[in-house]
Amino acid sequence: MFIRVLGSAAGGGFPQWNCNCPNCKGFRNGTVKATARTQSSIAVSDNGSDWVIVNASPDIRSQIMAFPEIQPAGQLRDTAIRAVVLTDAQLDHCSGLLFLREGCPLPVYCTNHVKEDLSTGFSLFPLLKSWQGGLQHKPIEPGERFVVTGLTELEWLPVPIKSNAPPYSSRRGSPQPGDNVGLLIHDKIKNTRLLYMPGLGEITAELLALCHQVDCLLIEGTFWTEDEMIVTGVGNKMAAEMGHLPISGENGLLNFLGTLHEKRKILIHINNTNPILNEESPEAEMLARSGIEVSFDGMQITL
């Protein structure tokens, strides 16, 4: 299984265009050692030639331009993108579908709840019908395995997770199963497994058991602290309200990941305020000592 991190940041990217938080300001003036990042998305393949985009961020065009393997090959209009799989209907995970409209009809694998939100609150499915039929919904269900057409060696399992529905959803504040899923991707030939969860609000016993079965976790890394948005002065919401589990704290992700010995653990969907973006920060050093990696745009993983 081949995985390419197309984008590793949360919504807004890093540095965020209108933000003067310590990270963004420091990056611009050269006082913070950090790497620019686009909004989170990955590409997955079983053969290195046919690829699935998992979450299409608003930065999808520049991400494709930085990844030659997915660009046009032999035909006049061509791409190695065979489908898109969505974990939720958040803007930073689906608005890139607008920029893929020239490639329609485009198979989009997502739950019925995600399809509903992208047909009403953010009506991408109806909007794109004029482009050669638009987005072709391929329904998936939490707990039910599926295979993406053309990538037969990979088996996908949508894993129900606790997070939140997008602001334009009728279920915002009271999410239902199917609003958010992680993805357990199994290479049936090599018998390797990746668990991809860019948005995660709570660790359950079932999820913990599942994490012990995989070779690599590409997992929620949005905030370092629960009150990060408030402390940095850029927002008024706690991480939990936004559906994110912070890295630090008694019940944070760091303690959870510490129980997963001999697993590769990589953080993704990193907010511009998160101190781990500063490569010389104590928080970044703490992760390094704990054997936890911080993803970056262009990162390649082979399982």
pLDDT the model gives residue 72: 67
pLDDT the model gives residue 54: 98
pLDDT the model gives residue 86: 98
- CATH code of the domain in which 113 resides: 3.60.15.10
Integer Cα distance of 17 and 33 in angstroms: 18
Q: Kindly report the pTM of this predicted structure.
A: 0.94
- Print pLDDT tens along the chain (303 aa): 999 999 999 999 999 999 999 999 999 999 999 999 999 999 999 999 999 999 999 999 999 999 988 876 777 788 899 999 999 999 999 999 999 999 999 999 999 999 999 999 999 999 999 999 999 999 999 999 999 999 999 999 999 988 888 999 999 988 888 999 999 999 999 999 999 999 898 998 889 899 999 999 999 999 999 999 999 999 999 998 888 999 999 889 999 898 888 889 999 999 999 999 999 999 999 999 999 999 999 999 999
Q: What is the SS3 string spanning the chain?
A: CEEEEEECECCCCECCCCCCCHHHHHHHHCCCCCCCECECEEEEECCCCCEEEECCCCCHHHHHHCCHHHCCCCCCCCCCEEEEECCCCCHHHHHHHHHHHHHCCEEEEECHHHHHHCCCCCCHHHHHHHCCCCEEEEECCCCCCECCCCCCCEEEEEEECCCCCCCCCCCCCCCCCCCCEEEEEEECCCCEEEEEECCCCCCCHHHHHHHCCCCEEEEECCCCCCCHHHHCCCCCCCCHHHCCCCCCCCCCHHHHHCCCCCCEEEEECECCCCHHHCCCCHHHHHHHHCCEEECCCCCEEEC
pLDDT the model gives residue 11: 94
Domain that holds residue 265: 2-302
pLDDT the model gives residue 261: 83
Integer Cα distance of 287 and 73 in angstroms: 40
- How many domains would you assign to the chain? 1
